[in-house]
Amino acid sequence: MSRVAEYLERLVPERPAELRKMEAYARKHDFPIIGPACGHLCYQIARMTGARQVFEMGSGYGYSTAFFARAVQENGGGVVHHVVWDEHLSRLARRHLAALGFADLVQYHVREAIEALQEAEGPFDIVFNDIDKDAYPRSLPLIEAKIRPGGVLIIDNMLWSLKIFDPGDRSPATEGVREFTRLITTSPKWIVSLVPIRDGMIVALRV
């Protein structure tokens, strides 16, 4: 971890023991979670916007979900949609989020995330996107249709371990990140910033 990353993580308020367990699990199993600094940013954005309807595309075992659920709870209640392909990850998420006191705030979906968003009623205050990177570009039109004006899109891995800077990397995942970045930053429908914490998070306001 870089000195900047270590410093940013130290600035994050103390997390509940259950969240610490989730972080330990990620370290032990080399599972990619957004980490404390990005999680806290998600929580802050959700509080700032008064979010009560959140849709996560790619939720893992619920680490990011916990930050959104805490914000929704403090905003007066609502729903966070946890979406993951894997039934085992969904079960882990249910256990962790129940232990954190968020069981009645989360709706679980075990299915492909774009399909799940397509069928969701919406509109949503926040969409969080962390699916397979090659699918990022085709997710954008649907997100635009499902998020309310004034809503926020948060999308992870936009620096993609710096592979976006390698001109020889033409893999589908890297090209997906590049193309999504081009699409959203040139669209009049979004006001966009790329926040260079961890692996880079785009925060975009739906105009």
**Domain at 3-206: CATH code:** 3.40.50.150
DSSP class of 152: E
Tens-place pLDDT, residues 107-154: 999 999 999 999 999 899 999 999 999 999 999 999 999 999 999 999
Residues 6+ apart with CB under 8 A from 95: none
Q: Find the largest Cα–Cα distance for the chain.
A: 49
Each domain of the chain, given as residue ranges in start order, spans 3-206
Question: What would the pLDDT profile of 42-60 be if each residue is shown by its tens digit?
Answer: 999 999 999 999 999 999 9
Give the pTM. 0.95
Specify which residues 193 forms β-bridges with: 203
With beta carbons less than 8 A apart as the criterion, state whether 96 and 69 touch: no
- What pLDDT, in 10s, does the model give residues 6-56? 999 999 999 999 999 999 999 999 999 999 999 999 999 999 999 999 999
Alpha carbon separation from 138 to 56, 89, 141, 144, 181 (Å, rounded): 16, 25, 7, 11, 12
